[in-house]
Structure 1
Amino acid sequence: MCRPWAGDVLPRSLDDHDALLVLGGSMGPHDDERAPWLPAVRELLRLAVARDVPTLAVCLGMELLTVACGGEVRRAALPEVGLCELTPLQEATGDRLFGPLTHTGGRLRAVQWHWEETGTLPDGAVPLVTSERCAHQSYRIGTSVWGVQFHPGSWRTTSAPGEPRTSAHCAPSGSNPPVSWPRWLGRRQSCARCGVCSPSSGPRS
């Protein structure tokens, strides 16, 4: 895992990687002065799209993907914080990641923590999930690049001693994991994992 805020050097290409995972952070997708590694992350996302490298971009990661591919990110009229309901769109039924979730018969909920959102999708992006406050909760570019505004995964309410707070610690007290996410990244041999969230500040974007 690369932690650029701690001085880790991001890879310049994805030649030696089978997948890319970009996580959340408290900065916005245009905050290059505050986070000077963001241009390099956006370039990796552009490379992933060009080569259809399996990619999951989460929260700020999705916002960076949007900007990198020519879409627009704007300030959200109403931020989403906490456990929120999601609505899969028709296009999600045939999607490799979201298809199984559309047949559960129950409500889909996920942890949210963002003040900004994708306003205009990149050209060619397929919208997959929406919510009451955020039109674009998830989309796919090509066959293997996904952006999600929410935080999929396993959630805890507290950090272990000495462990930095990151996007994995945003769930409200007592909540369960919001979705059973396919373990597609676990099957990849090498994943370029970019954690862009500083441990001194919880994720917001």
Structure 2
Amino acid sequence: MPTKPFALLASRSEDVAADDEYASFLAHTGLRPEELVRIRMESGPFAPLDLEAYSGVLLGGSPYTASIPAAHKSDEQLRVEAELSQVLTEIHERDFPFLGLCYGVGALGRLTGAVIDSTYAEQTAAVEIGLTDAGREDPLLSGLPPSFAAYVGHKEACTVLPPGAVLLATSAACPVQMFRLGTNQYVTQFHPELDRAAMVTRIDVYRNSGYFPAEEADQVIVRISRADVSDSHRLLRTFVERYRTAL
């Protein structure tokens, strides 16, 4: 039966990182290219977005830091943020199927009243993610074990949840690793789309972007290579299976 595609909202201006991110989403959702429409937000206007054309919306990670003052943001970032807020406002009002990874915490969180700052910034690493009681009962996480490894590496995180949010996952160094709003809006701090090869590409592309000392990139690769993050990928496939909608 024909189904509506999913939309992937992306914002990486570096083609190597952007293409590798898209490949990661395809690999771990199980979608074909025609089933996952990539929208590169940084390349030009993308809003309004016709949500009726899609089964759900995925938001990839981003080099943007949501919590810095507007005066320190580029014109590109300010435009993307304004248009993305327009799209997310509709998603939130409709409780439309949404999964935002990394940047989703800052984008949807700030829109709905969360506190996003650098209190729980994370080094680039693989960490142990633990599901809360609510997480263990959530249908999107039903295929995951109570704890699993996933990749992180962020300059900001959620310090205070937005009103009405349900905390689904946490970690020792970052209390908010995943939350849900409504029934169908999910965001993660961790990166379920990244496997080791994709993480190595990300480290190489962003080695001079302040996530870690550039001269320590090889050490970071050794550190992240010790972990098995395969369980984290299930989240993406479950999202697709749950929300795939017939034409």
| Same-fold call, TM cutoff 0.5 | yes
1:121 alignment partner in structure 2: 161
TM-score if structure 1 supplies the norm length?
0.76
For 2:120 and 2:200, locate their aligned partners in 1 and report how far apart those are by CA, in whole Å: 29
- Give runs of aligned pairs for residues 78-93 of structure 1, distance below 5 A: 78-93=121-136
For 1:16 and 1:165, locate their aligned partners in 2 and report how far apart those are by CA, in whole Å: 33
TM-score if structure 2 supplies the norm length?
0.64
2:181 alignment partner in structure 1: 141
Q: Is the contact between residue 102 and residue 189 of structure 2 (CA under 8 Å) also seen in structure 1?
A: yes
Which of 95, 117, 123 is matched with 2:138 structurally? 95
Residue 177 (str. 1) matches residue 229 (str. 2): yes
1:201 alignment partner in structure 2: none
Q: Is the contact between residue 148 and residue 229 of structure 2 (CA under 8 Å) also seen in structure 1?
A: no
2:47 alignment partner in structure 1: 11
Report the structure, 1 or 2, having the larger helix content: 2
| Aligned residue identity for 1:127 | L
Which of 164, 167, 171 is matched with 1:131 structurally? 171
Deviations 1:101-129 (A, max 9, x none): 2xx36x41100011100111111100011
User: 1:50 Cα shift?
Assistant: 1.1
2:111 alignment partner in structure 1: 68
List alignment gaps of at least 5 residues for structure 2.
1-37, 207-219
| Aligned residue identity for 2:122 | P
| Aligned residue identity for 1:22 | L
Identity among equivalent pairs (%): 23
1:202 alignment partner in structure 2: none
Matched length: 179
Higher-Rg structure is 2
CA distance 1:76–1:178, change in 2 (3 Å): farther
SS in 2 for 1:28: coil
Q: Is the contact between residue 43 and residue 68 of structure 1 (CA under 8 Å) also seen in structure 2?
A: no
Q: CA RMSD in A?
A: 2.6
Choose 179-188 or 80-89, whichever is displaced more: 179-188
Larger RCO, structures 1/2 (Cα 8 Å, 6+ apart) = 1
List alignment gaps of at least 5 residues for structure 1.
191-205
